[in-house]
Amino acid sequence: MKAGGACAVATGRRWIADSGVMYRILSYARALDLLVISHAEDGGLSAGAVATEGEYATRMGLPAAPAIAEAMAVARDIMLAEQSGARLHFRQLTTKRAFDMVRDAKQRGLPVSCGISPAHLLLSDIAVGGFRTFARLSPPLRSEDDRQAALEALADGTIDLICSSHDPLGPEAKRLPFADADPGMSGAETLLSLSLALVRDGRIGLPRLIEMLSATPARLLDLPGGSLAVGAEADLILFDPDKPWRISSDAMASHAGNTPFDGLPVQGKVLRTIKGGVALG
């Protein structure tokens, strides 16, 4: 697969429960210098859950899992990565305990990194109130304490990149009772605008944001891109960081505009996209 162009190995939407299997994956990936991307949720705790255990899940009668399901998965995978010497990236982390473990791993020099979506930086589990299925995500939205811990991890460099968590789903998957709806959000079109809010709030600077959205993912995956160097691929966007607009599910280019930010006024709009030196649209 590497010879065919694969740049990483991922566990997909689920955590690999068998530690022996995960260790072999990490060992093989280390031998080929491939990044391993892990979904961090202990399936034994999170199976059947649609929300994070807490006041709001209890009030709404939703099947829920404790937030430690994430930390337990992170702890095991970090230990296996340390043993195997593999490069490990956690697709999305959302809890204080998980960030503490990644922070410690980085301080010990381990090649461990993690990402997060704008939704988990800007929303807490309050957003699921009213059984809003557009706020049914994977991982689920966390408590306000965990959200604040995520912002701290963003500021101190524990979080390496911000991802779109783009998973568009049609009405047949979302317009259902909360527990029956599929998790996911349409995030590609709102990634930049929502992330720019972090700059305006003083959480990070604009150069760091651009690095987290482009240069860091390219570096981790050993892909060309994320650079304005002479000879680099001309994959660029031109954007106005202050242009106001309103997120509208119905107006999205994506076939399914399932976003928990529907109706939110934002700033920052892409004006032109250039792919391979050719302007699109």
d(CA 223, CA 273): 19
d(CA 192, CA 239): 9
Half-sphere exposure of 154 (CA within 13 A, CB side): 32
Q: What is the pTM of this model?
A: 0.94
Which token pair is 132? 């809003």
Alpha helices per DSSP H over the chain: 19-32, 43-46, 55-60, 68-84, 96-107, 118-122, 144-155, 171-174, 191-200, 206-210, 216-220
Which token pair is 106? 């980085």
Contact 120, 92 (CB under 8 A): yes
Domains of the chain plus CATH, in order, are 8-229 (3.20.20.140)
d(CA 146, CA 68): 11
At residue 262 the predicted structure's pLDDT band, cuts being 50, 70 and 90, is very high
> What is the average pLDDT across 255-281?
90
H/E stretch holding 237: strand 236-246
Per-residue pLDDT of 161-198, as tens digits, reads: 999 999 888 888 988 999 999 999 999 999 999 999 99
Non-local CB neighbours of 129 within 8 Å, separated by 6+ positions = 56, 60
Q: Which of 12-21, 150-159, 205-214, 218-227 has the lowest mean pLDDT?
A: 218-227
At residue 30 the predicted structure's pLDDT band, cuts being 50, 70 and 90, is very high
φ/ψ of 8, rounded to 5, equals: -165, 165
Mean pLDDT, the chain, as a whole number? 95
Angstrom CA distances, 123 to 13, 117, 136, 140, 259, stand at 21, 10, 12, 11, 12
d(CA 38, CA 19): 13
Tell me the DSSP string of 155-224: HTT---EE---B----HHHHSS-GGGSPP-B--TTTHHHHHHHHHHTTSS-HHHHHIIIIIHHHHHTT-S
Which pLDDT belongs to residue 168?
A: 86
